[in-house]
Amino acid sequence: MMSGVLGITDIGTYVLGTVAIILLPGPNSLFVLSTAAKRGVGAGYRAAGGVFLGDGVLMVLSAAGVASLLKAYPPLFLVVKYAGAAYLGYVGLTMLRGAWRRWRDRNDPASPRLIDAAEPAAMRSPFRKALVISLLNPKAILFFISFFIQFVDPTYHWPALSFLLLGLIAQLTSALYLTVLIFTGTFLAAQFRRRRRLAAGATTGVAALFLGFSVKLATASM
């Protein structure tokens, strides 16, 4: 196997594959988009920061062989899987409650427009919430290890450098994509300020997707 840049066998294919995978809708990107739509650019980037940290931790754990450990011990995988599914379901239910409040108060000019005042204080940290969503995703750990290994030359003397470069490429691609979502979210926020029914409907749709992610994760096999 021929090694390329820093022991990466086919960096062009890796970049194309990474872009395609990151563009697929998922709970991380959806949460960043909805956060920016509700709370603005700053909150959107705080949520993105949680995604970056979570993905970084998963990449390090994958490179260290934790994904193989999950494969070797299915009960451990099930614990992580159901914890992630439960948290995604909790996020979805919280969003549904916010959508109901917006719909109920749609004709009240004094009610909050973008942030649900009754939202639990623990859920008001976009960074922490995005970090938890990212970390409680065992399928992502398995994906990172299976995807990275395909592009690392096993004969290269410093594989850590290979994983580092692969990780930087993935994080840069994610940062560009999330930036687009954040500014898309701020545009949507302007529309939601004028149309409370639209805001309630959009929040309901996002909540339904999170509940769908929860069910899909809970029923996924290793």
165-209 confidence digits (pLDDT tens): 888 999 999 999 999 999 988 877 766 555 556 556 666 776 777
Structure tokens at 44: 């959107």
- What pLDDT was estimated at residue 128? 92
- What pLDDT was estimated at residue 193? 59
- What pLDDT was estimated at residue 117? 41
Strand partners, 152: 8
Q: Which of 58, 62, 59, 82 lies closest to 71 in space, CA to CA?
A: 62
pLDDT tens digit sequence for 105-115: 655 554 444 44
Higher-confidence residue of 179 and 152: namely 179
- What pLDDT was estimated at residue 172? 94
Q: How far apart are CA 214 and CA 164, in angstroms?
A: 30
- What pLDDT was estimated at residue 122? 42
- What pLDDT was estimated at residue 49? 96
pLDDT tens digit sequence for 77-88: 777 778 777 877
- Identify the three-state secondary structure at position 152: strand
CA atoms within 13 A on the CB side of 213: 30
Q: Note whether 30 and 209 are within 8 A (CB).
A: yes
Q: Give the model's confidence band at 120: pLDDT under 50 very low, under 70 low, under 90 confident, else very high.
A: very low
Say which range, 86-95, 135-144, 198-207, has the weakest mean pLDDT.
198-207
Backbone angles phi, psi at 46, to 5 degrees: -65, -40
pTM here is: 0.72
Backbone angles phi, psi at 62, to 5 degrees: -65, -45
- What pLDDT was estimated at residue 180? 93
Residue 38 has pLDDT above 60, yes or no: yes
- What pLDDT was estimated at residue 208? 79
Q: How far apart are CA 44 and CA 53, in angstroms?
A: 14
